[in-house]
Homo-oligomer: A and B are copies of this chain.
Amino acid sequence: MQIAVIGTGMVGCVLASRLAGLGHEVAIGTRDPQATMSRTEHDALGTPPYAQWAAEHPDVRLLQLAEAGAFAELVMNASNGANSIKALQGVGAENLAGKVLIDVALPLDMSQGMPPMLTVANTDSLGEQIQREFPGAKVVKTLNTVFCEVMVHPERIPGEHTIFVAGDDADAKATASQILTSFGWPETSVIDLGGIAGARGSEMYMRLYFQLATQFGFDVTIQVKNADTAES
């Protein structure tokens, strides 16, 4: 399948790499490809600059947002949640219409430090905002409750665990679930939260997630990340 991943951060790169490895034709969408390629600094999380990653992943193309949208049969939003609506406007409503839009983004507000607040919560969610802004897209909120390496390699966490899907379109959720299964999530681990308002539950849970990470360090996720680095 032709899949566009929106966002050049750690989450976007991990998803793109895994999808390409599974045989999909993958493009990453960004506002200004030239600017993205010319970045030389590591980001706040220590992620190397995109150009370095791109050199190691020649099978993943970097496209301008609207080009990525036109290319895609399915879109995954891995952009900064606080900026996702704007990024998806760049992709274009016409390029999202009729397509499955898998939203993994977190609406984090880091302005007060860690743990972050959410830019939207309780009476609304990012998943719902995206669905309202792009009524022609079939939005499925999923994967947003786990670290990105766990999204695409759930077996790295021992024992049974759970991943949530929420969305208004049953066929779109079935498509998203197929992608989850291809990542290694057992079908029985995929929990359907119902309509897109279910995104409120999985997004608001992230306060506890980041609270724990702030309290105990990101050791668990770092271990997972290092396991991946060692492997590749």
Give A contacts to B, CB under 8 Å: 115, 117-118, 121-123, 164, 191-194, 198, 200-202, 204-205, 207-212, 214-215
Contacts and interface: CB of A to CB of B under 8 A. Distances in A.
A205 B207 contact: yes
Contacts of A191: 212
Given A194-B215, A198-B215, A204-B207, 15 more contacts: A118-B122, A122-B207, A164-B208, A191-B212, A193-B212, A193-B215, A194-B211, A198-B211, A200-B207, A200-B211, A201-B209, A201-B212, A202-B208, A204-B205, A205-B207
A157 to B, nearest CB: 14
A146 to B, nearest CB: 13
Contacts of A201: 115, 207-212
- Number of identical monomers bound together in the oligomeric complex: 2
10 contacts: A115-B201, A117-B122, A118-B122, A121-B204, A164-B208, A192-B215, A193-B211, A194-B211, A201-B210, A204-B204
Contacts of A193: 211-212, 215
Contacts of A211: 193-194, 198, 200-201
Interface centre among A192, A198, A200, A208 (most CB of B within 10 A): A208
A215 B211 CA distance: 26
A231 to B, nearest CB: 28
A183 to B, nearest CB: 21
A21 to B, nearest CB: 31
A192 B212 CA distance: 9
A97 to B, nearest CB: 28
Contacts of A205: 204-205, 207-208
Contacts of A207: 122, 200-201, 204-205
